[in-house]
Amino acid sequence: MRSRPRRHHESLRAAQQRAVPGGGHNDAMIAPPGDPARLSLAGITKAYPTVVANDGIDLAVAPGEIHAVLGENGAGKSTLMKIIYGVVRPDAGVIRWNGAPVAIASPARARALGIAMVFQHFSLFDTLTVAENILLAQDGTHTHADVSARVREISHRYGLPLDPQRPVHTLSVAERQRVEIIRSLLQDPALLIMDEPTSVLTPQAVTNLFATLRTLAAEGCSILYISHKLDEIRALCDRATVLRGGHVTGECVPRDETPASLARMMIGGDLPHPHHRKARAQGAARLVVDRLTVPAADAFGTSLADISLSVAAGEILGIAGISGNGQRELVAALSGEEPLGAAARADAITIDGTPAARLPARARRALGLAFVPEERLPRGAVAEMSLAENTLLTAHGQRLVRAGFVRERALAAFTAATIARFGVRAAGPEATAQSLSGGNLQKFIVGREIRQRPNVFIAAQPTWGLDVAAAADVRQALVDLRDEGVAVLVVSDDLDELFEICDSIAVIAGGRLSAQRAARDTDAAAIGLLMGGAQGAASASLPQDAARPA
């Protein structure tokens, strides 16, 4: 190992310029001595067959620092975190841990180094208890009793109340996240990665989470916080690295930036807002739900109780709520996918005045209902089928079938028109659904439904997982639809989105729906309180989330 003159305060950029990905240099030349970063990435690159997910990424996190990785969906954040956690191997680049180069070949190796990760999608086993779930993730030979004791200890220390003996399927989403966090904390991590943690939390629960994270950081644990929510990052994080299209487009101190400047780094422009035409007068009620009650299908579901709502022509009603509070059941009941059974009143749901609650999905479509489901694949479209075939899925009533046979040319024309009108980037009507990106597929599905000229349009989580541009297109499509006199119902866990496009908002919690109120008469805080209300009641052994101090 050659010696080199010490260089203090060497900038990260200078170090990067000398780092050669993949080449044959002795890394002693590359590693700057006295590098204070706990974790540093230099030139990390990862390419997949269809996209370069990460391209020459540099990043540094100091001990005890809360560092944000900011970027829209598809910017490459998830891939980068998987590389750090050893789930994925980079094609090129150097990872340094406390100054020394390391190869993180697996999650076990990452954990051995002291890196822990809380994924956006939880890795939990519903039929097992909290303790068993945590035990499974432990390397080594801990016993069940050990784990239970430590779980209690950690949950008290960091304000994450949890009973180790409860089966996971009885927990709320926020409680499940606590299991994930405690599972990570059990390893005494030096670096904790949080991947989009707040998409499943009420505003109050977010505040509690931030308190926990600040406590951890104060004890010296570094935190990598992945998000696309500008306000949260400005509130919580010390520094931020911004990703766009796989590259680093900026590093900053979030508190010194404005949302606009952050947005510019994140998407290269200003955040788009939907363009509302002058509001038209709202017409008659087109979708009316009257005291709808649906018992849960099984132990894992949520019962709906006494749900009432009304959407008028030319109105967008938003239903806010944390996922897991009955949204799926409500949407399935409205779309007709879940038969309501003979006990349901036929007029519990009316479409343009016609009782529809006993009608199956097809009959409701015939009445003018259109529906964009939460899962693009495999529900809204069949992955292996072409776009033309996927058009046939719901739009066959558009004179695309004659005497039981498919009119193939008409189908191709209809599909091509949908693709053109909604800006779907696809090879053509014969392209398979799975070859499209998430944003394009969602635009196609929304477009397909809109082209059937519905009277009532239901959209569940319409922009989930979409990049900013596609999300903006979808929201604009919904607004345009509303302006043409359609009654639109949007179910979303993104409060910002709801406030952007909705005329009125109601909150679903624990299977019950709050009263509708005009969007301009309420705000995120009030909605947040309603969102968290039933959650507190569901976890009887725990103090109310809403009551905890910020």
Partner 1 sequence: MILVRLEARPTPSRVAAYASPFIAAGATIFIGGALFAALGMDPVEALYVFFVKPVATRYGIGELLLKAGPLMLCAVGLAAGYRANVWNIGAEGQLTMGAIFGGGLALAFPQSNSPFLLPAMIAAGAIGGMAWAAIPAWLRTRFNANEILVSLMLVYVASYMLSLLVNGAWRDPEGFNFPQSRMFGAAAMLPILVPDTRIHAGFLLALAAIGAGWLFMRKSHAGFEMRVAGLSADAARYAGISVPRTVWTGLLVGGGCAGVAGVLEAAGPIGQLLPTMSPGYGFAAIVVAFVGRLNPLGILGASLLMSLLYLGGESAQIALKLPSAVTGIFQGAFLFLLLAADVFIRYRVRIGRTPAIAPGIAAAE
Partner 2 sequence: MASLQDIIVLTLAAGTPLVMAALGELVVEKAGVLNLGVEGMMLVGAVVAFIVAADTRSAWLGVAAGIAAGAALSFVFAVLTLSLLANQVAAGLALALFGVGLSAFVGKSYVNAVIAGLPPLAIPVLSDLPLVGRLVFGENPLVYVSLLLFAGVHWFLYRTRAGLTLRAVGEAPDSAHAIGLSVVRVRYAAVLFGGACAGLAGAFLAVAYTPMWAEGMSAGRGWIALALVVFATWKPWRVLLGAYLFGGVTLASFQAQAGGLALPSQVLSMLPYVATIVVLALISRDAAAIRRNAPASLGKPFHPDA
Binding residues for partner 2 restricted to 280-299, rule: CB under 8 A = 297-299
Q: Which amino acid is at 296?
A: A
Instruction: Give φ, ψ of 224 to 5 degrees.
Output: -100, 120
- Taking 3-state DSSP, the helix, strand and coil percentages for the chain, each rounded to the nearest 5, stand at 40, 20, 40
- Of all helices (H) and strands (E), which one includes residue 241? strand 239-244
Contact 266, 254 (CB under 8 A): no
Which DSSP letter does residue 73 get?
T
* Shortest Cβ 145–partner 2 spacing (Å): 13
Binding residues for partner 2 restricted to 84-103, rule: CB under 8 A = 87-88
Look up residue 213 and give its two tokens. Answer: 């994270």
Nearest residue (CB) to partner 2, 135 versus 490: 135
Residue 135 touches which member of partner 2, partner 1, none, C-beta under 5-8 Å by kind: partner 2
| Spatial separation of the C-alpha atoms in residues 470 and 316, rounded to whole Å | 20
Contact 372, 459 (CB under 8 A): yes
Contact 184, 195 (CB under 8 A): no
Examine residue 392 and tell whether it contacts partner 1 (CB under 8 A): yes
Binding mask 462-491 for partner 1 (x = CB under 8 A): ------------------------------
Nearest residue (CB) to partner 1, 113 versus 182: 113
Examine residue 404 and tell whether it contacts partner 1 (CB under 8 A): yes
Binding residues for partner 1 restricted to 124-163, rule: CB under 8 A = none
| Spatial separation of the C-alpha atoms in residues 79 and 81, rounded to whole Å | 5
* Shortest Cβ 138–partner 1 spacing (Å): 23
SS3 320: strand
Nearest residue (CB) to partner 2, 111 versus 150: 111
Nearest residue (CB) to partner 2, 3 versus 141: 141
Enumerate residues 6+ apart whose C-beta is below 8 A from 168.
124, 125, 126, 127, 128, 129, 130, 133, 176, 179
Q: Which of 26, 141, 143, 541 binds partner 1 (CB under 8 A)?
A: 26
Residue 25 touches which member of partner 2, partner 1, none, C-beta under 5-8 Å by kind: partner 1
Q: How far is CA 60 from CA 31, 66, 186, 395, in A?
A: 13, 11, 24, 51
Q: Which of 14, 17, 33, 123 binds partner 2 (CB under 8 A)?
A: 123
Examine residue 384 and tell whether it contacts partner 1 (CB under 8 A): yes
**Measuring CA to CA, which residue among 384, 395, 398 is closest to residue 435?**
384
* Shortest Cβ 296–partner 2 spacing (Å): 10
Q: Quick one: which segment of 15-23, 152-160, 240-248, 250-258 binds partner 1 (CB under 8 A)? A: 15-23
* Shortest Cβ 335–partner 1 spacing (Å): 7
What angle is formed at CA 191 by the lines to CA 186 and CA 197, rounded to 5 degrees?
Answer: 80
| Spatial separation of the C-alpha atoms in residues 291 and 108, rounded to whole Å | 51
Nearest residue (CB) to partner 2, 29 versus 105: 105
Residue 136 touches which member of partner 2, partner 1, none, C-beta under 5-8 Å by kind: partner 2
Examine residue 365 and tell whether it contacts partner 1 (CB under 8 A): yes
Binding footprint of partner 1, residue count (CB under 8 A): 51
Alpha-carbon Rg for the chain, nearest whole angstrom, is 25
Contact 474, 269 (CB under 8 A): no
Residue 401 CB-density burial (10 A; 0-12 exposed, 13-18 middle, 19+ buried): middle
Q: Which of 14, 25, 125, 399 binds partner 2 (CB under 8 A)?
A: 125
Binding residues for partner 2 restricted to 37-56, rule: CB under 8 A = 48
Examine residue 373 and tell whether it contacts partner 1 (CB under 8 A): yes
Binding site for partner 1 (CB under 8 A): 21-28, 49-50, 89-95, 100-103, 335-337, 360-362, 365, 371, 373, 375, 378-385, 389, 392-394, 396, 401, 404-406, 432, 434-435
Task: List residues near partner 2 by CB under 8 A.
Answer: 48, 87-88, 106-108, 111, 119, 122-128, 132, 135-137, 139, 141, 183, 297-299
